[in-house]
Amino acid sequence: MGLIELAAAKALASSAVFLFITLLMMASAKRISTCIVLFSVQSAIMAAEILAVAYAGKSVESYAVAALVIVVKVVAIPYLLFRIVRNLKASQDVASSTTGAQSVFIMAALILLSFFAVAPYAKTLRLDEDLLAAAIALLLAGAFLMVSRKKALMQVMGLLVLENGILLAALTTTFGMPLVIEIGIFFDLLMGVFLMGLFVFRIRDTFEHLDVSKLRRLRG
C-alpha cells in the first residue's frame, strides 16, 4: 500500500469521528434550521471522504459522485429546505418527545450499538470498522429522529440522515456503485425531498399545523 493510499485511509477513518459529532449535535438541536445546517455539514464530510477515495483510487467516477454529493446534498437540498422553512412562517421548534439530554444519551447509545453490530462483519470482510459503524449509526440515528420528532420537516431530516448512512455504507464497503445508479439515486432523493416539501405545505393548509403526531384520522 502506497503512502498516499495510507493517508487517504487515515483521513477516512478519522472522519467517522466528525460524523458522530454531527449526530450528537443533531440530537441536541432545538431548531429545525440548526438541523439543516448540520445535515449540510455531515454531507460535506462525506463528500470529503469520497474525494479522498477518488484521489487514492484515481477514479474519475468517484470524483463525479463527490461532485454530485456537493451539488445535491450540501447545497441543493439544504437550500430547498431553508426555503420551505422560510415560506412556512411556522415555529422552528423540532417538537421533540424526548428532552435534549435524553436525546443525546440515546444517540450515544445508538453509536455504541452500531460498533457492536458491525464488529463481526468488519473482521471477516476486512473493512474499516469505524466507518462501517458510522454508516450504521447514521441509519439508526435517522430512524430515531423520525420517530422522536413530531414536526413533518424533521421526518424529512431523519430520512435524509438515514439515506446518508446508506451512501456511507455503499462507499465504505464497495467504494461506490456504478455511476449511473448513483445518479439515479440522487435524482430520486432530490425529487423525494421536493415532493415531501409540497406535502408539508398541503398539511399546513389543510390541518393548520405541522405536527404529524396529530395526524390520526385514519386508523384501523
- Name the residues that contact another protein, by CB under 8 A: 121, 124-125, 139, 143, 146, 152, 155, 159, 162-163, 166, 169-170, 173-174, 177-178, 180-181, 184-185, 187-188, 191-192, 195-196, 198-199, 202-203, 206-207, 212, 215, 217-218, 220
Distances (CA, A) of 217 to 97, 153, 163, 178, 206: 21, 20, 29, 43, 13
**Closest separation in Å from C-beta 177 to another protein:** 6
In terms of CB distance, is 16 or 162 closer to another protein? 162
Closest CA to 169 of 152, 185, 188: 185
Q: Is the Cβ–Cβ distance between 68 and 180 less than 8 Å?
A: no
- The separation between CA 184 and the C-alpha centre of its own chain, rounded to angstroms, equals 18
**Closest separation in Å from C-beta 55 to another protein:** 19
Q: How far apart are CA 67 and CA 73, in angstroms?
A: 10
In terms of CB distance, is 30 or 202 closer to another protein? 202
Place of cell 384520522: 217
In terms of CB distance, is 105 or 207 closer to another protein? 207
SS3 14: helix
In terms of CB distance, is 86 or 174 closer to another protein? 174
**Closest separation in Å from C-beta 188 to another protein:** 5
**Closest separation in Å from C-beta 211 to another protein:** 12
